[in-house]
Amino acid sequence: MSGWAYLEDFLGYLKVERQMSPHTLRNYRLDLAQFLEFLAATPEAPELEEVTYRQVRAFLAHSLKGRGKTTVARKLSALRTFFKYLQRQGVLTQNPAKLAPSPKVGKSLPHFLTVDEAFHLLGQAKGDEFAPRRDRAILEVFYAGGLRLAELAGLNLGDLDRKEGVVRVWGKGAKERLAFLGDAALSALAAYLPFREGLLAHHGRQGEKALFLNVRGGRLSARSVARVVEKWARLSGLSQALTPHGLRHSFATHLLEGQADLRAVQELLGHASISSTQRYLHLNLDYLMEEYDKAHPRSK
């Protein structure tokens, strides 16, 4: 069985058993295909069953040329997962990527908004046409629910419960959770939905399930959703570096600054591990120092 056939089996396993998103599957396919192509181009051109740590190390060294350490770390993670799968299938006796050291990646703080900046951004997106009504609803739902980009782009109308003020979200690994919306997000959705229905009637697509639509009445893609955020960040005079993930970071940071419990924030973000949520504790050192000074008996 060829390495390419093993790759297709592995991707099928990730899709069906691990319920990974199309975006993650594309990254796995890209990284592992590059490794197989690298193997084929080497003088010995070993079969996948013959791969050793030496070939893995050579591939990673090759990958570092012109690429950031984060990208190389992702490729190493893909190889480790792939080889672990092949071990379970009895193809390999050991994981040749297990001993490879991960490149040290500096932790960069993501861009996020202050509360005033968030209110300023949300106040800019207004208008009495389909696009601004939709865009305002997108921004409000991002900030109210702390959704990931793929989660918001994948929302269907049936996921929305306006009476309860929640939306059902399918997160990583197809894990379901409820995101709370709040009055501002619900108001923005109420203003958008009649325009959504009018657009679908115009295009004869009343059966469309997607919550957020493009001007042709189809589902708004994740890339187009990101452009909506970038557009209004630019028009509002805020940093053009703001992304949907920046709004998610803003959501988490503002909850923690409001003294929300870390475990509760973990649930709201849909994090499997509390360590993922703890990153947000490092975002506002001034706030943490102020809280320390107020609370610690020996801080004075």
Regarding whether 127 and 18 lie in a shared domain, the answer is no
pLDDT at site 48: 85
Regarding whether 269 and 158 lie in a shared domain, the answer is yes
User: Which two structure tokens, joined as six digits, stand for 155?
Assistant: 């929302």
Least confident range of 146-155, 191-200, 282-291: 282-291
Q: Say if residues 140 and 152 touch (Cβ distance below 8 Å).
A: no
What is the SS3 assignment for 171? coil
Q: Say if residues 251 and 143 touch (Cβ distance below 8 Å).
A: yes
**Rounded mean pLDDT of 38-47?**
87
* Residue ranges of E strands in 129-195: 160-161, 166-170, 176-180
pLDDT at site 73: 84
Regarding whether 273 and 139 lie in a shared domain, the answer is yes
CA atoms within 13 A on the CB side of 139: 26
Q: Say if residues 184 and 140 touch (Cβ distance below 8 Å).
A: yes
Distance in angstroms (rounded) separating the CA atoms of residues 130 and 107: 39
Handedness of CA 69, 71, 72, 73 (dihedral sign): positive
Regarding whether 133 and 80 lie in a shared domain, the answer is no
Q: Say if residues 214 and 200 touch (Cβ distance below 8 Å).
A: no
pLDDT at site 166: 92
pLDDT at site 274: 77
Regarding whether 181 and 42 lie in a shared domain, the answer is no
Predicted confidence band of residue 108 (pLDDT cuts 50, 70, 90):
low
Catalytic site residues?
A: 148, 172, 245, 248, 271, 280
Q: Which domain holds residue 132?
A: 115-291
Q: Say if residues 147 and 277 touch (Cβ distance below 8 Å).
A: no
pLDDT at site 43: 84
User: Which two structure tokens, joined as six digits, stand for 197?
Assistant: 């229905």
Regarding whether 271 and 130 lie in a shared domain, the answer is yes
Calculate the average pLDDT of the chain: 86
For residue 126, pLDDT over 80 is answered with yes
**Pick from 88, 105, 127: which residue ends a domain?**
88
pTM of the model: 0.64
Q: Say if residues 208 and 158 touch (Cβ distance below 8 Å).
A: no
Q: What is the DSSP letter of 48?
A: G
Regarding whether 119 and 81 lie in a shared domain, the answer is no
Regarding whether 225 and 164 lie in a shared domain, the answer is yes
Phi, psi of 160 (to 5 degrees): -90, 130
Q: Say if residues 131 and 227 touch (Cβ distance below 8 Å).
A: no
Regarding whether 77 and 191 lie in a shared domain, the answer is no
The CA angle 45-47-52, to the nearest 5 degrees, is 85
Q: Say if residues 92 and 86 touch (Cβ distance below 8 Å).
A: yes
CA atoms within 13 A on the CB side of 136: 24
**Rounded mean pLDDT of 88-109?**
78
pLDDT tens digits, residue range 206-259? 889 999 999 999 999 999 999 999 999 988 888 667 889 889 888 988 888 787
Which run of H or of E encompasses 76?
helix 69-88
pLDDT at site 110: 61
**Rounded mean pLDDT of 181-186?**
92
Predicted confidence band of residue 281 (pLDDT cuts 50, 70, 90):
low
94 domain-assigned: no
Distance in angstroms (rounded) separating the CA atoms of residues 67 and 96: 22
Q: Give the residue with greater pLDDT, 27 vs 280.
A: 27
φ/ψ bin of 112: left (φ > 0), alpha (ψ from -120 to 50), beta (otherwise):
beta
98 domain-assigned: no
The residue among 296, 277, 298, 276 whose CA lies nearest residue 288 is 296
Regarding whether 283 and 162 lie in a shared domain, the answer is yes
CATH code of the domain covering residue 31: 1.10.150.130
The number of distinct structural domains making up the chain is: 2
How far, in whole angstroms, is CA 227 from its chain's centroid?
15
Regarding whether 266 and 132 lie in a shared domain, the answer is yes
Regarding whether 134 and 81 lie in a shared domain, the answer is no
pLDDT at site 23: 79
**Rounded mean pLDDT of 74-102?**
89
